A and B are shown apart, each in its own frame.
Chain A
Amino acid sequence: MNIIVCVKQAPDIEKSVKIAEKIIDEGSDFVLNPLDEHAVKEAVNIKEKMGGKITALTLGPERAKQALLRCLARGADEAIHIKTDTTYNFDSTVVSVVLAEKIKTLPFDIILFGSKSVDTNSGSCGVQIAKILDIPCVPEIIKLEIGQEKAVVIRQMDGGEETVECLLPAVFTCQKGINELGLLRLPEILQAKKKPLIIENLSQNISSTSEIISLEFLPERKSGLIIKGSPEEQVNELVIILKKQGIPGG
Protein backbone atom coordinates (compact mmCIF):
# COMPACT_ATOMS: atom_id res chain seq x y z
CA MET A 1 0.00 0.00 0.00
CA ASN A 2 1.30 3.43 -0.92
CA ILE A 3 -0.12 5.88 1.53
CA ILE A 4 0.18 9.64 1.22
CA VAL A 5 -0.70 11.81 4.19
CA CYS A 6 -1.25 15.51 3.56
CA VAL A 7 -0.32 17.49 6.61
CA LYS A 8 -0.22 21.12 7.57
CA GLN A 9 1.63 23.06 10.16
CA ALA A 10 -0.87 25.25 12.01
CA PRO A 11 -0.82 27.60 15.00
CA ASP A 12 -0.96 25.91 18.39
CA ILE A 13 -4.41 26.86 19.62
CA GLU A 14 -3.54 25.97 23.19
CA LYS A 15 -1.21 28.97 23.16
CA SER A 16 -2.12 32.49 22.21
CA VAL A 17 -2.24 33.04 18.48
CA LYS A 18 -0.92 36.34 17.16
CA ILE A 19 -2.01 38.17 14.07
CA ALA A 20 -0.06 40.58 11.91
CA GLU A 21 -2.73 42.47 10.02
CA LYS A 22 -3.93 40.00 7.39
CA ILE A 23 -1.77 37.01 8.24
CA ILE A 24 -0.91 34.83 11.20
CA ASP A 25 2.07 36.37 12.96
CA GLU A 26 5.19 34.28 12.54
CA GLY A 27 5.84 34.85 16.23
CA SER A 28 3.00 32.42 17.06
CA ASP A 29 3.75 28.85 18.09
CA PHE A 30 3.19 26.33 15.34
CA VAL A 31 2.50 22.61 15.56
CA LEU A 32 1.46 19.76 13.31
CA ASN A 33 -2.30 20.24 12.86
CA PRO A 34 -3.73 17.85 15.51
CA LEU A 35 -6.09 15.94 13.21
CA ASP A 36 -3.27 15.48 10.68
CA GLU A 37 -1.31 13.73 13.39
CA HIS A 38 -4.21 11.31 13.74
CA ALA A 39 -4.09 10.84 9.95
CA VAL A 40 -0.40 9.88 10.15
CA LYS A 41 -1.17 7.49 12.98
CA GLU A 42 -3.92 5.90 10.87
CA ALA A 43 -1.43 5.45 8.02
CA VAL A 44 0.92 3.69 10.42
CA ASN A 45 -1.92 1.40 11.53
CA ILE A 46 -2.65 0.50 7.89
CA LYS A 47 1.01 -0.10 7.15
CA GLU A 48 1.32 -2.41 10.14
CA LYS A 49 -1.46 -4.59 8.73
CA MET A 50 -0.88 -4.35 5.00
CA GLY A 51 2.72 -3.29 4.57
CA GLY A 52 3.67 -0.39 2.33
CA LYS A 53 5.16 3.05 2.40
CA ILE A 54 3.99 6.27 4.01
CA THR A 55 4.79 9.65 2.48
CA ALA A 56 3.96 12.84 4.36
CA LEU A 57 3.35 15.84 2.12
CA THR A 58 3.09 19.49 3.02
CA LEU A 59 2.86 22.82 1.29
CA GLY A 60 4.15 25.53 3.56
CA PRO A 61 6.88 27.91 4.62
CA GLU A 62 10.33 26.97 5.91
CA ARG A 63 9.05 26.29 9.44
CA ALA A 64 6.63 23.60 8.16
CA LYS A 65 9.60 21.24 8.12
CA GLN A 66 9.04 20.77 11.86
CA ALA A 67 5.61 19.32 11.17
CA LEU A 68 7.13 16.87 8.70
CA LEU A 69 9.73 15.78 11.21
CA ARG A 70 6.92 15.00 13.61
CA CYS A 71 5.23 12.85 10.95
CA LEU A 72 8.50 11.02 10.37
CA ALA A 73 8.81 10.45 14.10
CA ARG A 74 5.24 9.11 14.14
CA GLY A 75 6.21 6.54 11.52
CA ALA A 76 6.09 8.12 8.05
CA ASP A 77 8.85 6.74 5.81
CA GLU A 78 9.59 9.89 3.87
CA ALA A 79 8.44 13.46 3.63
CA ILE A 80 8.02 15.99 0.87
CA HIS A 81 8.08 19.70 1.60
CA ILE A 82 6.85 22.00 -1.12
CA LYS A 83 8.14 25.34 -0.01
CA THR A 84 6.17 28.51 -0.40
CA ASP A 85 5.39 31.64 1.55
CA THR A 86 2.09 32.00 3.46
CA THR A 87 0.15 33.67 0.62
CA TYR A 88 -2.14 30.73 0.00
CA ASN A 89 -2.66 29.82 3.65
CA PHE A 90 -6.40 30.55 3.67
CA ASP A 91 -7.05 29.57 0.05
CA SER A 92 -7.96 25.88 0.23
CA THR A 93 -8.67 25.63 -3.47
CA VAL A 94 -5.18 26.77 -4.48
CA VAL A 95 -3.57 24.57 -1.82
CA SER A 96 -5.54 21.62 -3.20
CA VAL A 97 -4.51 22.34 -6.79
CA VAL A 98 -0.83 22.46 -5.84
CA LEU A 99 -0.97 19.32 -3.70
CA ALA A 100 -2.95 17.42 -6.34
CA GLU A 101 -0.34 18.27 -8.98
CA LYS A 102 2.35 16.78 -6.78
CA ILE A 103 0.30 13.73 -5.84
CA LYS A 104 -0.22 12.96 -9.54
CA THR A 105 3.53 12.29 -9.78
CA LEU A 106 3.53 9.81 -6.87
CA PRO A 107 2.21 6.26 -6.55
CA PHE A 108 -0.75 6.01 -4.15
CA ASP A 109 -3.53 3.71 -2.99
CA ILE A 110 -4.78 5.79 -0.09
CA ILE A 111 -4.49 9.50 0.64
CA LEU A 112 -5.23 10.62 4.17
CA PHE A 113 -6.02 14.08 5.52
CA GLY A 114 -7.09 15.67 8.74
CA SER A 115 -10.80 16.46 8.60
CA LYS A 116 -9.98 20.14 9.04
CA SER A 117 -7.12 22.39 9.94
CA VAL A 118 -7.42 24.59 12.99
CA ASP A 119 -6.39 27.77 11.22
CA THR A 120 -8.60 27.77 8.12
CA ASN A 121 -11.36 25.85 9.90
CA SER A 122 -12.52 24.79 6.43
CA GLY A 123 -12.23 21.05 6.05
CA SER A 124 -12.11 21.41 2.30
CA CYS A 125 -8.75 20.17 1.03
CA GLY A 126 -9.32 16.41 1.20
CA VAL A 127 -12.61 16.53 -0.67
CA GLN A 128 -11.20 18.98 -3.20
CA ILE A 129 -8.11 16.92 -3.98
CA ALA A 130 -10.19 13.77 -4.45
CA LYS A 131 -12.32 15.65 -6.96
CA ILE A 132 -9.29 16.97 -8.83
CA LEU A 133 -7.76 13.48 -8.96
CA ASP A 134 -11.17 11.96 -9.77
CA ILE A 135 -11.05 9.39 -6.99
CA PRO A 136 -13.70 8.82 -4.31
CA CYS A 137 -13.54 10.54 -0.94
CA VAL A 138 -15.11 9.79 2.40
CA PRO A 139 -14.68 12.69 4.80
CA GLU A 140 -14.74 12.79 8.61
CA ILE A 141 -14.14 9.11 9.15
CA ILE A 142 -13.91 7.58 12.60
CA LYS A 143 -13.10 4.02 11.52
CA LEU A 144 -11.14 2.60 8.61
CA GLU A 145 -10.67 -0.99 7.50
CA ILE A 146 -8.61 -1.51 4.38
CA GLY A 147 -8.97 -4.53 2.11
CA GLN A 148 -7.17 -5.22 -1.15
CA GLU A 149 -9.41 -3.26 -3.47
CA LYS A 150 -11.76 -1.51 -1.17
CA ALA A 151 -12.12 -0.04 2.25
CA VAL A 152 -14.95 -0.15 4.73
CA VAL A 153 -15.22 3.09 6.64
CA ILE A 154 -17.51 4.77 9.12
CA ARG A 155 -18.08 8.47 8.72
CA GLN A 156 -19.74 10.97 10.99
CA MET A 157 -22.91 12.47 9.52
CA ASP A 158 -25.49 14.85 10.91
CA GLY A 159 -27.73 12.70 13.04
CA GLY A 160 -25.73 9.51 12.87
CA GLU A 161 -22.97 7.38 11.51
CA GLU A 162 -22.78 5.97 8.03
CA THR A 163 -20.85 2.84 7.10
CA VAL A 164 -19.75 2.78 3.47
CA GLU A 165 -17.70 0.62 1.19
CA CYS A 166 -15.33 2.58 -0.97
CA LEU A 167 -13.18 1.51 -3.92
CA LEU A 168 -9.47 2.26 -3.77
CA PRO A 169 -7.60 4.41 -4.54
CA ALA A 170 -9.45 6.86 -2.34
CA VAL A 171 -9.17 9.85 -0.06
CA PHE A 172 -10.22 9.73 3.59
CA THR A 173 -10.22 12.62 6.02
CA CYS A 174 -9.70 11.70 9.65
CA GLN A 175 -11.99 12.98 12.40
CA LYS A 176 -11.27 13.05 16.12
CA GLY A 177 -11.92 9.61 17.59
CA ILE A 178 -10.36 7.57 14.77
CA ASN A 179 -7.38 6.52 16.88
CA GLU A 180 -5.41 7.39 19.98
CA LEU A 181 -1.98 8.96 19.85
CA GLY A 182 0.66 7.61 22.16
CA LEU A 183 3.50 9.73 23.44
CA LEU A 184 6.45 10.08 21.11
CA ARG A 185 9.67 8.52 22.38
CA LEU A 186 13.09 10.05 22.04
CA PRO A 187 14.51 7.33 19.71
CA GLU A 188 11.60 7.96 17.32
CA ILE A 189 12.30 11.66 17.34
CA LEU A 190 15.99 11.09 16.70
CA GLN A 191 15.37 8.57 13.96
CA ALA A 192 13.08 10.99 12.14
CA LYS A 193 16.04 13.19 11.33
CA LYS A 194 17.64 10.33 9.39
CA LYS A 195 14.65 9.69 7.16
CA PRO A 196 14.44 11.22 3.67
CA LEU A 197 12.96 14.71 3.57
CA ILE A 198 12.68 16.10 0.08
CA ILE A 199 12.44 19.83 -0.36
CA GLU A 200 11.04 21.44 -3.48
CA ASN A 201 10.18 25.00 -4.30
CA LEU A 202 6.75 25.92 -5.54
CA SER A 203 7.53 27.10 -9.03
CA GLN A 204 4.13 27.80 -10.54
CA ASN A 205 2.37 31.02 -9.86
CA ILE A 206 -1.28 30.27 -9.28
CA SER A 207 -3.94 32.94 -9.12
CA SER A 208 -5.72 33.01 -5.78
CA THR A 209 -9.43 32.28 -5.62
CA SER A 210 -9.92 34.66 -2.70
CA GLU A 211 -8.23 37.36 -0.67
CA ILE A 212 -8.28 38.23 3.00
CA ILE A 213 -9.88 41.57 3.72
CA SER A 214 -9.33 41.41 7.46
CA LEU A 215 -8.60 39.15 10.40
CA GLU A 216 -10.06 40.35 13.66
CA PHE A 217 -9.98 38.84 17.12
CA LEU A 218 -13.28 38.31 18.86
CA PRO A 219 -13.51 40.33 22.07
CA GLU A 220 -11.32 38.66 24.65
CA ARG A 221 -13.08 36.88 27.47
CA LYS A 222 -11.97 37.46 31.00
CA SER A 223 -12.83 35.55 34.10
CA GLY A 224 -15.95 37.04 35.55
CA LEU A 225 -17.69 36.79 38.86
CA ILE A 226 -17.18 33.76 41.04
CA ILE A 227 -20.21 33.29 43.24
CA LYS A 228 -19.39 32.32 46.79
CA GLY A 229 -21.50 30.86 49.58
CA SER A 230 -23.57 27.77 50.25
CA PRO A 231 -25.09 26.00 47.22
CA GLU A 232 -28.42 27.69 47.98
CA GLU A 233 -26.81 31.12 48.16
CA GLN A 234 -24.84 30.48 44.99
CA VAL A 235 -27.95 29.44 43.10
CA ASN A 236 -29.99 32.38 44.40
CA GLU A 237 -27.38 34.82 43.23
CA LEU A 238 -27.09 33.12 39.85
CA VAL A 239 -30.84 33.31 39.39
CA ILE A 240 -30.76 37.06 40.08
CA ILE A 241 -28.04 37.48 37.46
CA LEU A 242 -29.92 35.39 34.93
CA LYS A 243 -33.14 37.32 35.61
CA LYS A 244 -31.36 40.51 34.64
CA GLN A 245 -30.63 38.85 31.30
CA GLY A 246 -34.30 38.09 30.83
CA ILE A 247 -33.89 34.40 31.70
CA PRO A 248 -36.05 32.42 32.00
CA GLY A 249 -38.14 34.06 29.29
CA GLY A 250 -41.93 33.80 29.04
Chain B
Amino acid sequence: MEKILVFTEIKSGVITKLSIEVLGKARELADKYGKKVVGLVLGNDFNNFSTPIDSLARFGVDEFLLAESDKFADYNSEIYGKIICGEIEKLKPQIIFFGSSKIGRELASQISAKFLSCCFQDCVDVDIENDFLKAKRLVLAGKVFAILKSKCSQFQVATLQQGIFQSKIVEKDAEMTRIDIPADLTSRIVRKEFINRSSGQVSLLEAKIIVSGGRGVKSAENFKILEALADVLNGAVGASRGAVDLKLRVSDDQVGLTGKTVSPQLYIACGISGASQHLAGITRAKFIVAINSDNEASIFKIADVGIVGDLFEIIPLLTKALKNLKGEK
Protein backbone atom coordinates (compact mmCIF):
# COMPACT_ATOMS: atom_id res chain seq x y z
CA MET B 1 0.00 0.00 0.00
CA GLU B 2 1.38 3.43 -0.95
CA LYS B 3 2.08 5.70 1.98
CA ILE B 4 1.30 9.29 2.83
CA LEU B 5 3.84 10.63 5.30
CA VAL B 6 2.77 13.52 7.53
CA PHE B 7 5.30 15.55 9.45
CA THR B 8 3.59 16.33 12.74
CA GLU B 9 4.70 19.49 14.43
CA ILE B 10 4.96 19.81 18.18
CA LYS B 11 5.03 23.15 19.94
CA SER B 12 5.74 23.37 23.67
CA GLY B 13 4.80 19.75 24.11
CA VAL B 14 1.51 19.96 22.22
CA ILE B 15 0.70 18.77 18.72
CA THR B 16 -0.23 21.87 16.71
CA LYS B 17 -3.79 22.37 15.54
CA LEU B 18 -2.51 22.71 12.00
CA SER B 19 -0.84 19.30 12.21
CA ILE B 20 -4.10 17.70 13.33
CA GLU B 21 -5.82 19.26 10.32
CA VAL B 22 -3.14 17.94 7.97
CA LEU B 23 -3.49 14.47 9.48
CA GLY B 24 -7.25 14.73 8.92
CA LYS B 25 -6.81 15.53 5.24
CA ALA B 26 -4.26 12.75 4.84
CA ARG B 27 -6.72 10.28 6.41
CA GLU B 28 -9.48 11.41 4.07
CA LEU B 29 -7.29 10.91 0.99
CA ALA B 30 -5.96 7.60 2.30
CA ASP B 31 -9.49 6.25 2.80
CA LYS B 32 -10.58 7.42 -0.60
CA TYR B 33 -7.63 6.02 -2.51
CA GLY B 34 -6.54 3.10 -0.38
CA LYS B 35 -3.34 4.44 1.11
CA LYS B 36 -1.68 4.27 4.48
CA VAL B 37 -1.00 7.33 6.66
CA VAL B 38 2.27 7.44 8.56
CA GLY B 39 2.92 10.26 11.00
CA LEU B 40 6.39 11.37 11.96
CA VAL B 41 6.96 13.38 15.10
CA LEU B 42 10.24 14.75 16.40
CA GLY B 43 10.43 15.74 20.01
CA ASN B 44 12.29 15.80 23.24
CA ASP B 45 11.11 14.01 26.35
CA PHE B 46 7.81 12.56 25.14
CA ASN B 47 7.00 11.35 28.65
CA ASN B 48 6.58 14.89 29.84
CA PHE B 49 4.33 16.10 27.09
CA SER B 50 1.41 18.29 28.07
CA THR B 51 -0.78 16.01 25.99
CA PRO B 52 0.11 12.36 26.53
CA ILE B 53 1.86 11.02 23.45
CA ASP B 54 -0.78 8.27 23.23
CA SER B 55 -3.40 10.84 22.29
CA LEU B 56 -1.67 11.14 18.94
CA ALA B 57 -3.00 7.69 18.17
CA ARG B 58 -6.52 8.85 17.35
CA PHE B 59 -5.92 11.56 14.79
CA GLY B 60 -6.30 9.24 11.84
CA VAL B 61 -2.83 7.81 11.48
CA ASP B 62 -2.11 4.16 10.81
CA GLU B 63 1.37 4.31 12.20
CA PHE B 64 3.24 6.93 14.17
CA LEU B 65 7.00 7.15 14.04
CA LEU B 66 8.37 8.76 17.18
CA ALA B 67 11.82 10.28 17.09
CA GLU B 68 13.02 11.34 20.49
CA SER B 69 16.23 13.16 21.30
CA ASP B 70 17.33 16.22 23.25
CA LYS B 71 18.67 17.40 19.89
CA PHE B 72 15.05 17.99 18.84
CA ALA B 73 14.19 20.30 21.73
CA ASP B 74 14.63 23.37 19.53
CA TYR B 75 13.94 23.37 15.84
CA ASN B 76 17.04 23.01 13.69
CA SER B 77 16.47 22.80 9.96
CA GLU B 78 19.55 20.70 9.26
CA ILE B 79 18.96 18.17 12.03
CA TYR B 80 15.22 17.89 11.41
CA GLY B 81 15.87 17.65 7.66
CA LYS B 82 18.36 14.85 8.13
CA ILE B 83 15.99 12.74 10.24
CA ILE B 84 13.06 13.30 7.89
CA CYS B 85 15.12 12.51 4.78
CA GLY B 86 16.38 9.34 6.44
CA GLU B 87 12.85 8.14 7.18
CA ILE B 88 11.67 9.04 3.69
CA GLU B 89 14.45 6.95 2.20
CA LYS B 90 13.29 3.97 4.25
CA LEU B 91 9.54 4.44 3.77
CA LYS B 92 9.52 5.65 0.18
CA PRO B 93 6.21 7.48 0.64
CA GLN B 94 4.25 8.53 -2.40
CA ILE B 95 3.20 11.78 -0.78
CA ILE B 96 4.65 13.88 2.02
CA PHE B 97 2.51 16.51 3.75
CA PHE B 98 3.56 19.29 6.05
CA GLY B 99 1.51 22.00 7.70
CA SER B 100 2.16 25.34 6.13
CA SER B 101 3.97 26.82 9.14
CA LYS B 102 7.36 28.46 8.69
CA ILE B 103 8.99 25.22 9.81
CA GLY B 104 6.79 23.07 7.58
CA ARG B 105 7.42 25.25 4.56
CA GLU B 106 11.17 25.17 5.06
CA LEU B 107 11.33 21.41 5.56
CA ALA B 108 9.10 20.84 2.53
CA SER B 109 11.45 22.82 0.30
CA GLN B 110 14.41 20.91 1.66
CA ILE B 111 12.84 17.50 1.14
CA SER B 112 11.69 18.34 -2.41
CA ALA B 113 15.24 19.35 -3.31
CA LYS B 114 16.69 16.18 -1.82
CA PHE B 115 14.31 13.96 -3.80
CA LEU B 116 13.95 16.31 -6.78
CA SER B 117 10.19 16.28 -6.57
CA CYS B 118 7.44 18.87 -6.81
CA CYS B 119 6.84 21.22 -3.89
CA PHE B 120 3.38 22.76 -3.59
CA GLN B 121 3.35 25.39 -0.84
CA ASP B 122 0.33 26.68 1.09
CA CYS B 123 -2.26 24.48 -0.59
CA VAL B 124 -5.91 25.31 0.04
CA ASP B 125 -6.98 22.05 -1.55
CA VAL B 126 -5.27 18.79 -2.47
CA ASP B 127 -6.41 15.65 -4.21
CA ILE B 128 -4.83 12.63 -5.84
CA GLU B 129 -5.42 11.76 -9.49
CA ASN B 130 -4.01 8.47 -10.72
CA ASP B 131 -1.46 8.61 -7.93
CA PHE B 132 -0.38 12.13 -8.85
CA LEU B 133 -0.92 14.94 -6.38
CA LYS B 134 -3.12 17.78 -7.50
CA ALA B 135 -2.98 21.03 -5.58
CA LYS B 136 -4.80 24.33 -5.50
CA ARG B 137 -2.89 27.35 -4.27
CA LEU B 138 -2.83 31.13 -4.49
CA VAL B 139 -0.25 32.71 -6.78
CA LEU B 140 0.45 36.15 -8.23
CA ALA B 141 0.03 38.12 -5.01
CA GLY B 142 -3.20 36.37 -4.14
CA LYS B 143 -4.92 37.38 -7.36
CA VAL B 144 -4.99 33.98 -9.02
CA PHE B 145 -5.71 30.37 -8.08
CA ALA B 146 -3.34 27.92 -9.69
CA ILE B 147 -4.19 24.27 -10.00
CA LEU B 148 -1.02 22.27 -10.34
CA LYS B 149 -0.44 18.61 -10.89
CA SER B 150 2.62 16.65 -9.94
CA LYS B 151 4.61 14.73 -12.50
CA CYS B 152 6.55 12.78 -9.90
CA SER B 153 5.49 9.28 -8.97
CA GLN B 154 7.13 9.38 -5.54
CA PHE B 155 8.06 11.84 -2.80
CA GLN B 156 5.46 14.40 -3.87
CA VAL B 157 5.62 17.25 -1.36
CA ALA B 158 2.98 19.74 -0.28
CA THR B 159 2.31 22.06 2.64
CA LEU B 160 -1.30 22.59 3.66
CA GLN B 161 -2.68 25.94 4.72
CA GLN B 162 -4.09 26.32 8.22
CA GLY B 163 -7.78 26.67 8.99
CA ILE B 164 -9.08 24.87 5.90
CA PHE B 165 -8.92 21.13 6.43
CA GLN B 166 -11.02 19.12 8.89
CA SER B 167 -9.36 17.20 11.67
CA LYS B 168 -10.57 13.63 12.28
CA ILE B 169 -10.81 11.54 15.38
CA VAL B 170 -10.85 7.82 14.64
CA GLU B 171 -11.63 4.78 16.78
CA LYS B 172 -8.62 2.74 15.82
CA ASP B 173 -5.38 3.41 17.65
CA ALA B 174 -2.26 4.02 15.62
CA GLU B 175 0.69 1.77 15.98
CA MET B 176 3.50 3.62 17.75
CA THR B 177 7.03 2.92 16.60
CA ARG B 178 10.14 4.50 18.06
CA ILE B 179 12.81 5.11 15.49
CA ASP B 180 16.55 4.99 15.98
CA ILE B 181 18.31 8.30 16.05
CA PRO B 182 21.76 8.56 14.47
CA ALA B 183 24.42 9.51 17.00
CA ASP B 184 26.19 12.06 14.84
CA LEU B 185 23.61 14.81 14.67
CA THR B 186 25.43 18.07 14.12
CA SER B 187 24.46 21.26 12.39
CA ARG B 188 26.22 24.19 10.82
CA ILE B 189 23.45 26.37 12.25
CA VAL B 190 23.30 27.06 15.99
CA ARG B 191 20.46 28.81 17.80
CA LYS B 192 21.68 31.67 19.99
CA GLU B 193 18.42 33.14 21.07
CA PHE B 194 14.71 32.90 20.51
CA ILE B 195 12.69 35.97 21.30
CA ASN B 196 9.03 35.27 21.74
CA ARG B 197 7.02 37.83 19.86
CA SER B 198 3.64 36.28 19.61
CA SER B 199 0.59 38.22 20.57
CA GLY B 200 -0.91 35.07 22.03
CA GLN B 201 -4.29 35.63 20.42
CA VAL B 202 -6.44 33.34 18.26
CA SER B 203 -4.53 32.63 15.09
CA LEU B 204 -5.35 34.98 12.23
CA LEU B 205 -5.46 31.94 9.99
CA GLU B 206 -8.36 30.48 11.93
CA ALA B 207 -10.25 33.63 12.81
CA LYS B 208 -13.67 34.04 11.21
CA ILE B 209 -13.48 37.74 11.89
CA ILE B 210 -10.38 39.93 11.76
CA VAL B 211 -10.10 43.53 12.87
CA SER B 212 -6.94 44.88 11.30
CA GLY B 213 -5.16 48.13 12.01
CA GLY B 214 -2.65 50.18 10.07
CA ARG B 215 -0.46 53.19 10.48
CA GLY B 216 -3.64 55.21 11.03
CA VAL B 217 -4.01 53.61 14.48
CA LYS B 218 -0.88 55.56 15.44
CA SER B 219 0.16 53.87 18.69
CA ALA B 220 0.35 50.42 20.23
CA GLU B 221 -1.87 51.68 23.03
CA ASN B 222 -4.55 52.72 20.53
CA PHE B 223 -4.74 49.14 19.28
CA LYS B 224 -6.76 48.45 22.46
CA ILE B 225 -9.84 49.87 20.78
CA LEU B 226 -9.37 47.38 17.93
CA GLU B 227 -8.90 44.60 20.47
CA ALA B 228 -12.13 45.61 22.17
CA LEU B 229 -13.99 45.38 18.86
CA ALA B 230 -12.37 42.03 18.05
CA ASP B 231 -13.43 40.81 21.50
CA VAL B 232 -17.10 41.52 20.90
CA LEU B 233 -16.86 39.77 17.56
CA ASN B 234 -14.83 36.80 18.85
CA GLY B 235 -12.27 37.78 16.29
CA ALA B 236 -8.54 38.34 16.05
CA VAL B 237 -6.50 41.48 15.52
CA GLY B 238 -4.34 41.81 12.42
CA ALA B 239 -2.07 44.56 11.19
CA SER B 240 -0.62 46.13 8.09
CA ARG B 241 3.09 46.34 7.44
CA GLY B 242 2.79 50.01 8.23
CA ALA B 243 1.73 49.17 11.78
CA VAL B 244 4.40 46.47 12.14
CA ASP B 245 7.09 48.85 10.88
CA LEU B 246 6.13 51.31 13.60
CA LYS B 247 6.29 48.41 16.12
CA LEU B 248 2.62 48.84 16.97
CA ARG B 249 2.16 45.08 16.45
CA VAL B 250 4.39 42.01 16.13
CA SER B 251 5.20 40.66 12.68
CA ASP B 252 3.16 37.51 13.43
CA ASP B 253 0.10 39.73 13.12
CA GLN B 254 1.05 41.11 9.72
CA VAL B 255 -1.35 40.46 6.87
CA GLY B 256 -0.22 40.67 3.26
CA LEU B 257 2.36 39.66 0.72
CA THR B 258 5.15 39.23 3.26
CA GLY B 259 2.81 38.40 6.12
CA LYS B 260 -0.18 36.10 6.42
CA THR B 261 -2.77 35.25 3.81
CA VAL B 262 -6.09 35.21 5.63
CA SER B 263 -9.57 34.06 4.67
CA PRO B 264 -12.05 35.34 7.26
CA GLN B 265 -15.77 35.88 6.73
CA LEU B 266 -15.33 39.48 7.76
CA TYR B 267 -12.24 41.68 7.53
CA ILE B 268 -12.43 45.15 9.04
CA ALA B 269 -9.53 47.35 7.87
CA CYS B 270 -9.00 50.36 10.12
CA GLY B 271 -6.57 53.10 9.17
CA ILE B 272 -5.10 50.97 6.39
CA SER B 273 -4.56 52.63 3.01
CA GLY B 274 -4.94 49.44 0.96
CA ALA B 275 -1.52 49.04 -0.69
CA SER B 276 -1.40 46.17 -3.18
CA GLN B 277 0.99 44.29 -0.89
CA HIS B 278 -1.58 44.43 1.89
CA LEU B 279 -4.45 43.44 -0.38
CA ALA B 280 -2.44 40.38 -1.47
CA GLY B 281 -3.21 38.88 1.95
CA ILE B 282 -6.96 39.44 1.95
CA THR B 283 -8.11 38.39 -1.52
CA ARG B 284 -9.96 35.45 0.00
CA ALA B 285 -11.79 37.43 2.68
CA LYS B 286 -15.56 37.06 2.17
CA PHE B 287 -16.59 40.55 3.22
CA ILE B 288 -14.40 43.59 3.68
CA VAL B 289 -15.27 46.69 5.68
CA ALA B 290 -12.94 49.70 5.50
CA ILE B 291 -12.74 52.58 7.93
CA ASN B 292 -10.46 55.35 6.74
CA SER B 293 -10.48 59.13 7.05
CA ASP B 294 -9.25 59.63 3.49
CA ASN B 295 -12.08 59.15 1.00
CA GLU B 296 -9.53 58.48 -1.73
CA ALA B 297 -7.75 55.63 0.07
CA SER B 298 -7.34 52.60 -2.25
CA ILE B 299 -8.88 50.32 0.34
CA PHE B 300 -12.30 51.72 -0.66
CA LYS B 301 -11.82 50.39 -4.18
CA ILE B 302 -12.08 46.83 -2.93
CA ALA B 303 -14.15 47.15 0.25
CA ASP B 304 -17.71 45.85 0.26
CA VAL B 305 -18.62 48.57 2.72
CA GLY B 306 -16.68 51.73 3.44
CA ILE B 307 -16.94 54.34 6.13
CA VAL B 308 -15.09 57.57 5.52
CA GLY B 309 -14.38 58.73 9.03
CA ASP B 310 -12.12 58.90 12.02
CA LEU B 311 -11.46 55.40 13.31
CA PHE B 312 -11.13 56.75 16.86
CA GLU B 313 -14.76 57.85 16.67
CA ILE B 314 -16.20 55.03 14.59
CA ILE B 315 -14.68 51.97 16.25
CA PRO B 316 -15.76 52.68 19.86
CA LEU B 317 -19.28 53.45 18.59
CA LEU B 318 -19.30 50.22 16.60
CA THR B 319 -18.04 48.20 19.55
CA LYS B 320 -20.76 49.67 21.76
CA ALA B 321 -23.51 49.06 19.22
CA LEU B 322 -22.47 45.44 18.72
CA LYS B 323 -22.23 44.91 22.47
CA ASN B 324 -25.77 46.19 22.91
CA LEU B 325 -26.95 43.94 20.13
CA LYS B 326 -25.36 40.92 21.78
CA GLY B 327 -26.91 41.91 25.09
CA GLU B 328 -30.36 41.84 23.51
CA LYS B 329 -29.98 38.25 22.42
Binding site for B on A (CB under 8 A): 11, 13-14, 17, 19, 24, 35, 90-93, 96-97, 115-116, 118-129, 131-132, 135-140, 152, 156-167, 170, 175-177, 207-218, 221-227, 231-232, 234-236, 238-239, 241-243, 245, 247-250
Chain A residue contacts of B234, Cβ below 8 A: 248-249
Closest-CB distance, B46 to chain A (whole angstroms): 22
For chain B, which range describes its interface: under 10, 10 to 19, 20 to 34, or 35 or more residues?
Answer: 35 or more
Chain B residue contacts of A247, Cβ below 8 A: 209, 233, 265-266, 322
Q: Report if A224-B145 is in contact (Cβ < 8 Å); known contacts: A131-B113, A140-B102.
A: no
Chain A residue contacts of B108, Cβ below 8 A: 124
Whether A93 pairs with B116 at a CB distance below 8 angstroms is yes
Q: Does any Cβ of A come within 8 Å of B329's Cβ?
A: yes
Chain B residue contacts of A13, Cβ below 8 A: 140-141, 143, 257, 276-277, 280
Chain B residue contacts of A137, Cβ below 8 A: 77
User: Can you offer 12 A-B residue contacts whose CB atoms are under 8 A?
Assistant: A17-B144, A35-B258, A123-B121, A140-B102, A156-B102, A157-B103, A164-B192, A165-B190, A208-B151, A215-B147, A225-B305, A226-B307
Q: For the complex, what is the distance from the CA of A200 to the CA of B193, rounded to whole Å?
A: 43
* Chain A residue at minimum C-beta to C-beta distance from B9: A158
Q: Does any Cβ of A come within 8 Å of B44's Cβ?
A: no
Prevailing SS type, chain A contact patch: mixed
Prevailing SS type, chain B contact patch: mixed
Whether B326 pairs with A248 at a CB distance below 8 angstroms is yes
* Chain B residue at minimum C-beta to C-beta distance from A126: B109
Chain A residue contacts of B122, Cβ below 8 A: 121
Q: For the complex, what is the distance from the CA of A122 to the CA of B106, rounded to whole Å?
A: 10
Chain A residue contacts of B287, Cβ below 8 A: 245
Q: Does any Cβ of A come within 8 Å of B69's Cβ?
A: no
Chain A residue contacts of B289, Cβ below 8 A: 238, 242
Whether B257 pairs with A124 at a CB distance below 8 angstroms is no
Chain A residue contacts of B118, Cβ below 8 A: 91, 93, 209-210
Q: For the complex, what is the distance from the CA of A198 to the CA of B302, rounded to whole Å?
A: 43
Chain A residue contacts of B322, Cβ below 8 A: 239, 242, 247-248
**Top 3 closest pairs, chain A to chain B, by CB:** A127-B109, A128-B113, A159-B198
Whether B141 pairs with A121 at a CB distance below 8 angstroms is yes
Whether B102 pairs with A235 at a CB distance below 8 angstroms is no
Q: Which of B112, B113, B146, B325 has the most CB of A within 10 A?
A: B113
